[in-house]
Amino acid sequence: MADYDLVIRNGTMATAADAVRADIGIKQGRIVALGASLAKGAREIDASGKLVLPGGIDSHCHVEQKSSMGHMTADDFFTGTRSAACGGTTTIIPFAAQHRGMSLRQVVKDYHDCAGPKAAIDYAFHLIISDPTEQVLGQELPALIRDGYTSFKIYMTYDALKLDDRQILDVLALARREGALVMVHAENHDVIAWLSDKLLLKGHTAPKFHGVAHAALAEREATHRAITLAELIDVPMLIVHVSGREAIEQIRWAQDRGLRIYAETCPQYLFLTADDMDKPGFEGAKCMCSPPPRDKANQEYVWRGLENGTFQVFSSDHAPYRYEGPDGKLMHGAATTFKKVANGVPGLELRLPLLFAAGVGTGRLDLTQFVALTATTPARLYGLYPRKGTIAIGADADIAIWDAEKEVTISQSMLHDAMDYTPYEGTRIKGWPVMTLSRGEVVAENGEFKGARGRGRFLKCDISPAARPLGRSVTGFDPETGTYKRG
Ligand code: DUC
Ligand code: ZN
Ligand code: ZN
């Protein structure tokens, strides 16, 4: 009888700590042995010449979510997770998004109803809080945190989502008390609204003006304000989808002060620029997201932030709105204004290959940094570690096998999402995840989806210090006691 259900043999295995030659023995979906020349498995995969990495964790993606403007994402939990799996990702953390007036409990139930029968890989949920009422803050949220929904995103912009500073403080105080992690979309709403109005008055309606309205200074100011509010009550905070120099400098400043400020960036800030929103006709809308892509110099700042540890997380912010069709970017016709276009770009499938090619392939990032940014640190920050995000005895056998030499020219036709375009069409990259395993089952192989609808499982996020080492709140203002302690 075989010792293991599966052995992955002869590969170079990398974690966030190191890269070594090792075989991996898997039983009942979990890693049970690591070592040289393991005994036989009922199934064997020869990974000679390949890299064997933890499956990616995409901790920021919008799946089967209605935007605040009423646009439905093209991907549901089946197409989204299928696409993720084909790109080497084995866990996603999308959002259960509250719109104003909704009960959070009901929102969470609705998202489970969507995800349960469709997800092909494992998933957890962040919450989006747009209506922090007494009922939400006093009852629903504390109970949900205890049930495994331990992180939530708040917005400083978008009419239907934005919280004011007082509301943000209320949410941060709750996070301090309950040990949750708050993710912030940091852009100054009034600056964007004012610039947008002025641009539209002058007839500047094209997609490229989205980039002007969402000024880097608006992002900088909001980033600094969010950090200040977090410092006031000494609570950890993660700034999502950081686009360039202005915000990065604020984050670096906070980190240098010893504040627990974490940061995330995404492929669109490394591979797109404002010029991509200035394509002929309305095509520029395909690259519109918020914050918007900036310029080459800002891309370089983002790269440096990845290299020097300012960023802990590299996620996709997959927000898949098709170009054509009833919920598409063109839904109001090509004569529409940039204000009416759904914000977001797809990225679930290409997040890892793009970073691998331009980061690991060029030597800007080493393999351990790549694994840390795309799997291990998201697992730690959101309470999924060590079950997810690493290759270790006892962890789920969520693994991506990479061919570092495989060259690919990106085209929408090879992808597995429900989109009708990719912003990265025609880009040539080297390095591709040729096989993805979720809990020891092959879910994607050589560009083909091999998994099954509904096999993905919901993951509760654990806020115990072992799972999520975010430190303790000891300084700042403690709303529970009404005392202030200087940091
Ligand atoms: N910006 C967001 O805040 N969310 C979805 C996509 C986007 O561009
Ligand atoms: Zn956002
Ligand atoms: Zn987002």
Report the CATH number that the domain containing residue 133 is assigned in CATH.
3.20.20.140
Ligand 3 centre distance from Cα of residue 126 (Å): 11
Q: With respect to residue 111, please indicate whether it lies within any of the assigned structural domains.
A: yes
CA 52 and chain centroid, separation: 22
Answer whether residue 177 is part of any domain. yes
Amino acid at 283: E
306 Cβ contact list (under 8 Å, min separation 6) = 265, 314, 359, 364, 365, 369, 373
445 occurs within a structural domain: no
**C-alpha–C-alpha distance, residues 262 and 381, integer Å:** 9
Starting from the edge strand earliest in sequence, which strands make up the sheet with 41-46, in order? 30-35, 23-27, 4-9, 41-46
Residue 3 belongs to a domain: no
pLDDT tens, per residue, the chain with 487 residues: 889 999 999 999 999 999 999 999 999 999 999 999 999 999 999 999 999 999 999 999 999 998 878 889 999 999 999 999 999 999 999 999 999 999 999 999 999 999 999 999 999 999 999 999 999 999 999 999 999 999 999 999 999 999 999 999 999 999 999 999 999 999 999 999 999 999 999 999 999 999 999 999 999 999 999 999 999 999 999 999 999 999 999 999 999 999 999 999 999 999 999 999 999 889 999 999 999 999 999 999 999 999 999 999 999 999 999 999 988 998 888 778 999 999 999 999 999 999 999 999 999 999 999 999 999 999 999 999 999 999 999 999 999 999 999 999 999 999 999 999 999 999 999 999 999 999 999 999 999 999 999 999 999 999 887 777 788 888 999 999 999 998 7
Q: Is residue 322 part of a domain?
A: yes
Q: Which residue has the tokens 């080493």?
A: 366
Structurally, the chain folds into a number of domains equal to 1
Q: Is residue 41 part of a domain?
A: no
Is the link from the previous residue into 291 a cis peptide, with omega within 30 of 0? yes
Q: Which of 66, 128, 214, 289 for mutating ligand 1's site (highest number of atoms within 8 Å of CB)?
A: 289
| Backbone torsions φ then ψ of 305, nearest 5 degrees | -65, -30
Has residue 443 been placed in a domain?
no
Parent domain of 211: 56-381+461-467
Residue 370 Cα to ligand 1 midpoint, Å, equals 24
Question: How many angstroms separate the CA atoms of 370 and 56, rounded?
Answer: 10
Strand partners, 41: 4
- Measure CA 100 to chain center: 24
Q: Is residue 473 part of a domain?
A: no
d(CA 445, ligand 1 centre) in Å: 30
Ligand 1: does its nearest atom lie under 6 Å from the Cβ of 379? no
